[in-house]
Amino acid sequence: MFTAASLIRPALAALEPYTPILPLDVLAARLGLPIERLVKLDANENPYGPSPKALAALANEAYYHIYPDPGHTSLRAALAAYTDHPAAHIVCGAGADELIDLILRLCLAPGEAVIDCPPTFGMYSFDTGVCGGRVVVVPRRPDFSLDLPAIEQAANTNGAKILFLTSPNNPTGNLMPPEELERLLRLPLLVVVDEAYIEFAGLDQSFAPWVRQHANLAVLRTFSKWAGLAGLRVGYGLFPPWLAEQLWKIKQPYNVSVAAQTAACASLADRAYLFDNVARLCAERERLWHHLAALPFLKPYPSAANFILCRVVGRAAHALKLTLEQQGILVRYYNNPYLHDYLRVSVGTPAQSDALLAALREVFANG
Ligand SMILES: *Cc1c(COP(=O)(O)O)cnc(C)c1O
């Protein structure tokens, strides 16, 4: 006979289960609202969706019955032009999420340490746990900037192998100043800069060009946000040669589907259209920010991404999230100590913002 405890790796058996996100149809049924009534501002998805050329390429793709190109040849050639990075040192994944997992599996032996700087994206610590690694937590300062001396101290005392940084950071929206990265790159570890939202900040804010000059820097990107392809799962990383070479060895050959590769290539070929939508979202971010700031119980933080973090003042953030949800408006609440009093709202269309603002004003009117 066996038990779960005798077969499951102890580090994994002890892991907290991931909080699942309810699919839209289930949530709509639960709220008694039609799906079209839902205003989904909880996952930073792009309300304008994929480029019409990506949709046409998907409709016309003739090789869904053939396995995808394991070398992502066309996509990497297009990405090399987009990022000005050699194709040989670009690795694509089923979302940036897969690359986070691959980097950790490649570098981390059980018990080895990773530095995480919350509040930030949850996958760094989650995947470190799955790999049996140890998360060394160096919280951000009250203004959400990095605590450089504390990171340096943690790196020097814990023998950490990887430091995850995010710019713009999710969920706080702030960019990392270049002088901070310059200083952190002197640490004897791999620095991974996650640029999932960089298109909303402007590509001139990217650290991608630095990858060619620093052997311990990797930059991660995704098509999920700016290109509206979250449902297709496609991301990529710019790596130094030694790391790209090793990642190629351990990735699943067919990790990026035919549909994802086709849509990503067509998106890169239709950048003018997609960047119009990015500009639209950036303009809407500023408009929404000012309206949120005018509400007495919200304090929005400046953001370089397609979302706005708000501190909820004088009332419970979780209750506010649930009140909005009753009206079909979905925003992100974090059940963690760093963000107990906060909500994150994704920037949607002007109509979606107006629905959110109307609901918030009603909450205020009702006390
Ligand atoms: C959304 C997000 C990702 C995930 O990207 P995928 O390509 O969809 O896996 C990665 N990093 C950050 C910071 C994100 O917010």
Ligand 1 centroid to Cα of residue 168, in Å, is 11
Q: Are residues 103 and 13 in the same domain?
A: no
Q: Are residues 220 and 316 in the same domain?
A: no
Given the CA of residue 121, which atom of ligand 1 is nearest to it? Answer: 13
Q: pLDDT of 116-138, one tens digit each?
A: 999 999 999 999 999 999 999 99
Q: Which residues does ligand 1 sit against, CB inside 6 Å?
A: 44, 95-97, 121, 166, 170, 194, 196, 222, 224, 230, 235
Contact 236, 262 (CB under 8 A): no
- The pick from 45, 97, 261 for probing ligand 1's pocket by mutation, whose C-beta has the most ligand atoms within 8 angstroms, reads 97
Please tell me the distance from the alpha carbon of residue 328 to that of residue 84, in angstroms, as a whole number: 42
- The pick from 92, 194, 223 for probing ligand 1's pocket by mutation, whose C-beta has the most ligand atoms within 8 angstroms, reads 194
CA–CA–CA angle 259, 265, 271 (5° rounding): 130
Which whole-number Å values give the CA distances from 361 to 321, 324, 347, in the listed order?
14, 11, 18
pLDDT at 37 over 80: yes
pLDDT at position 211, please?
98
Ligand 1 centroid to Cα of residue 367, in Å, is 36
Domain boundary among 220, 250, 271: 271
Q: Are residues 345 and 281 in the same domain?
A: yes
pLDDT at 287 over 90: yes
pLDDT band at residue 11, thresholds of 50, 70 and 90?
A: confident
pLDDT at 367 over 90: no
Ligand 1 centroid to Cα of residue 121, in Å, is 8
Question: Which residue, by CA, sits nearest to atom 12 of ligand 1?
Answer: 196
Encoded amino acid at 18, one letter: Y
Please tell me the distance from the alpha carbon of residue 93 to that of residue 81, in angstroms, as a whole number: 18
Q: pLDDT of 133-172, one tens digit each?
A: 999 999 999 999 999 999 999 999 989 999 999 999 999 9
CATH no. for residue 145? 3.40.640.10
Range of the domain at 165: 52-271
Q: What is the percentage of the chain residues whose pLDDT exceeds 70?
A: 100
Closest CA to 161 of 124, 189, 138: 189
Q: pLDDT of 70-95, one tens digit each?
A: 999 999 999 999 999 999 999 999 99
Least confident range from 18-22, 155-159, 234-238: namely 18-22
Q: Are residues 58 and 131 in the same domain?
A: yes
Q: Whole-number mean pLDDT of the chain?
A: 96
Closest CA to 168 of 191, 144, 150, 185: 144
